[in-house]
């Protein structure tokens, strides 16, 4: 594919690293201007400076209510439009629920669920007015299976699976496509929070994938004709036991 996203503006949350960064690079390579959303200003500024004008830095703390609410208006002030919103930012809690703190649960649900819903809610009037748009959410294999190690994380991703399905049904009549990508274990910062024995086992088994492989699934979703919605792409390491 060559420049299939020419003229498009994509906003990606959690864009300073991992899946978000890999997707920003893939979409820019296909011609999109990418608004890279993250709270890490230094990383964003460096990435934008190296992008030949294809990336725009947007410093937002999605866990801060005022910063989160300001994100879409600030992006529109910079770009004039948003063709693609990719809600990718997230965090992870694993292990036994009894060992988790209430503060950690709040943080995960606020970032993995509430911020996504708020961002989508904020962009919809703009997309409805224009009669077009793509919204993609990073879900997870854990959004399709009850992972024993991940009661809070799995619950947050099940919530996103429900949210994308129901929102898609409400807005498809406006020319807006809503999709999710559901990766298995990805070599990113989130895996640093896995239990050491579990992490070592999946690495030794080759049961992990690279962020770019998820990014290419996002591009596949975006590259379909407008009359086609790919609601979910599950991207798994071949050697995963799950």
Q: Which residues are catalytic?
A: 153
Four-residue CA torsion sign, 26, 32, 36, 37? negative
Cα–Cα nearest to 84, from 4, 163, 148: 4
CB contact set of 234 (below 8 Å; sequence gap of 6+): 141, 144, 182, 183, 184
Cα–Cα nearest to 55, from 30, 28, 20: 28
Please report, for residues 71, 106, 119, 160, 169, the alpha-carbon distance to residue 166 in angstroms, rounded to integers and kept in the order given: 23, 24, 16, 10, 5
């Amino acid at each position: 594919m060559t420049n299939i996203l020419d003229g498009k503006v994509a906003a990606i949350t959690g864009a300073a690293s991992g899946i978000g960064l890999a997707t920003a690079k893939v979409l820019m390579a296909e011609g999109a201007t990418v608004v890279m959303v993250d709270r890490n200003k230094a990383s964003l500024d460096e990435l934008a400076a190296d992008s030949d004008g294809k990336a725009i830095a947007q410093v937002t703390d999605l866990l801060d209510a005022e910063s989160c609410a300001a994100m879409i208006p600030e992006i529109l002030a910079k770009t004039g439009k948003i063709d693609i919103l990719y809600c990718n930012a997230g965090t992870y809690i694993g292990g036994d629920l009894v060992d988790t703190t209430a503060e950690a649960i709040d943080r995960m649900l606020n970032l993995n669920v509430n911020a996504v819903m708020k961002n989508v809610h904020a962009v919809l009037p703009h997309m409805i007015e224009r009669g077009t748009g793509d919204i993609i959410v990073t879900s997870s294999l854990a959004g399709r299976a009850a992972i024993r190690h991940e009661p809070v994380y799995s619950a947050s991703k099940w919530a996103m699976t429900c949210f994308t399905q129901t929102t898609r049904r409400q807005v498809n009549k406006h020319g807006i496509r809503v999709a999710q990508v559901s990766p298995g274990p990805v070599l990113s910062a989130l895996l640093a929070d896995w239990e050491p024995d579990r992490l070592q086992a999946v690495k030794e088994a080759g049961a992990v994938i690279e962020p770019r492989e998820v990014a290419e699934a996002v591009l596949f979703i975006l590259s379909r004709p407008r009359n086609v919605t790919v609601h979910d792409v599950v991207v798994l390491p071949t050697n995963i036991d799950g």
